[in-house]
Amino acid sequence: MTRSARELLGKIQAGLAPRDGDNRLVPLITAGRAPRAVFAALAAEEKLITLSDWRSFHELAARAGEPNARAFFGGLAPGEQQANGMLDALLAATGPDHGEELPRAGCQVYPAYVAWLALNGEPAATAAGIFANFAAFGRYCRDVAAGMREHYGFTDEQCAFFDFFAADVPEIEEQALAAIQAGLDAHRLDEGEAHRCARLFQSYELLFWNTLADEFPG
């Protein structure tokens, strides 16, 4: 009997859950202990990431032969473009990023992996790996936005990027589940590959945040 997409995602997310709390930057922001300069770095690095991911999701959609996978990746691309524009208000408020080695390698590994998957990843396994990490990223963004308002006095416009990714979007979940289910039903989705993809996404996501935590320890 073919496993359901929701069952597979649940198993993958259960494997990821023990490391969800390994993000060392978000607690500094929610406690108001991170220096304000961290937001210039966050905005500058995310500006590059969203542009790269926008291109990568377009490539994933173009490469996907299965309609549900194509719809999932094609639906993610406009969100990256929209989020990229939302960073402008934050960049204007924070001023330039004064880090010494820009961009930071630890922050840009994540989009480099997305770009690699755009050329090499099996679409359904890639969809599973990406979506399995959405909930954790959404929580990080929600907490960052709350900390920005409470401790640093940022406006709604300046927090818009994090609010955007904190929002629950049922349509994206439906598209992800459809893409994963299609891969399972056609026996194209390798569950081991999906687990590896999700684990690497989590590791690179944490590396992004913890690279900044090391540079801005509070």
Q: Which residue in the block uniquely carries the two structure tokens 């590959």?
A: 193
Gap between the Cα atoms of 85 and 50, Å rounded? 9
pLDDT category, 218, cuts 50, 70, 90? confident
- If you count DSSP H runs as helices and E runs as strands, how many of each does the chain have, helices first? 10, 0
Backbone angles phi, psi at 211, to 5 degrees: -60, -45
Query: pLDDT exceeding 70 applies to what percent of the chain?
Result: 99
State the pLDDT at residue 107. 99
The answer, yes or no, to whether residue 74 has pLDDT greater than 60, is yes
Mean pLDDT of 56-62: 98
Q: What is the pLDDT of residues 112-139, one digit of tens each?
A: 999 999 999 999 999 999 999 999 999 9
The answer, yes or no, to whether residue 6 has pLDDT greater than 70, is yes
The answer, yes or no, to whether residue 1 has pLDDT greater than 60, is no
Gap between the Cα atoms of 30 and 12, Å rounded? 28
Mean pLDDT of 60-74: 98
Gap between the Cα atoms of 54 and 48, Å rounded? 10
The answer, yes or no, to whether residue 3 has pLDDT greater than 90, is no
Helix axis angle for 67-94 and 123-132, nearest 10°, is 40
Average pLDDT value over all residues in the chain: 97
User: Amino acid identity of 43?
Assistant: A
Provide the number of structural domains found in the chain: 1
The answer, yes or no, to whether residue 76 has pLDDT greater than 70, is yes
Query: pLDDT exceeding 90 applies to what percent of the chain?
Result: 98
Gap between the Cα atoms of 140 and 21, Å rounded? 10
What CATH number is attached to the domain comprising 155? 1.20.910.10
The answer, yes or no, to whether residue 84 has pLDDT greater than 50, is yes
Question: Which DSSP helix (H) or strand (E) runs through 118?
Answer: helix 105-120
Q: What is the pLDDT of residues 155-170, one digit of tens each?
A: 999 999 999 999 999 9
204 three-state secondary structure: helix
The answer to whether the CB of 6 falls within 8 A of the CB of 177 is yes
SS3 percent helix, strand, coil of the chain, rounded to 5, is 80, 0, 20
Domain that holds residue 39: 5-215
Helix axis angle for 67-94 and 37-63, nearest 10°, is 160
State the pLDDT at residue 2. 62
